[in-house]
Amino acid sequence: MKNNKIKNSITALILLFAITAFSQNKSSNTVSLDIFYSKIQAEKKPQIIDARGPEEFALNHINGAVNFNLESKNYAEQVAKLDKSKPVFTYSIGAGRSVWLADELLKNGFKEAYSLEGGIANWIGNGKPFYASSKSKLTLTEYTKIVADNKTVLVDIGSKYCSACTKVKPVLETIKTQYGENLKIVEIDLETSPQVIADLKTIKVFPTLILYQNGKIVFKKDGFNDLKKDVDVALASK
């Protein structure tokens, strides 16, 4: 029993390191949304694999996708059900787990396997068809009104399952403390408001930060690097 636990722990660590490595280096099998979507459309019964956790999948996913939990005991059984002669389309929250899965499938005899660049953020964020388990808390009309009713608005769009997104929160708190009522901060999560993210049709990755001034976009950032600096510079020039 003890040896099995050690073996499972080692396997989990290897998977974690593999996923981390692939998330930092774009695979040759990672394709743009346009290519991913067109290839899916060309298939009568596309094999679409959601490589996220079951909780994430239950909240939202690409229409027609099935969930492969990479850490589940029946992972091999799930793979065995796929047709190796036909393309497999994988995605995750970004491009970590899905890249790893696509590459593993190719190593194991699959003819074609593609990972979606930007993951579910890119798919939903550009208005492609998806399933959601609940109605969005925020609508596009409400979003537009917030932007119109406030002189300066900083919008944070992400997911609680996105590790980079969690790192934005303390930065937002610092910005909020500095600017107070002079800056309206709006946080939009995929889990609670997927439809407004889809309706915006401009989101490619999580997190995405958008700064509005008098209803117009001052900047739109993919990722949060230098967010505090960019906000300071933008507001100092106004």
Q: What is the pLDDT of residues 61-75, one digit of tens each?
A: 999 999 997 777 788
Asked if 45 and 88 sit in the same domain, the reply is: yes
Per DSSP, the three-state class of 183 is coil
For 54, the token pair is 């079951």
Show the domain range for 216.
Answer: 140-236
pLDDT tens per residue, range 147-182: 999 999 999 999 999 999 999 999 999 999 999 999
Write phi, then psi, for 157 (nearest 5 degrees).
-115, 120
Q: What torsion do the CA atoms of 16, 18, 93, 170 make, to the nearest 10 degrees?
A: 60
Q: Domain tally for the chain? A: 2
Whether the per-residue pLDDT at 95 is higher than 80: the answer is no
**What was the pLDDT predicted at 94?**
82
Query: What pTM did the predictor assign?
Result: 0.86
Asked if 91 and 155 sit in the same domain, the reply is: no
Asked if 9 and 110 sit in the same domain, the reply is: yes
Per DSSP, the three-state class of 210 is strand
Q: Tell me, what DSSP letter sits at residue 28?
A: T
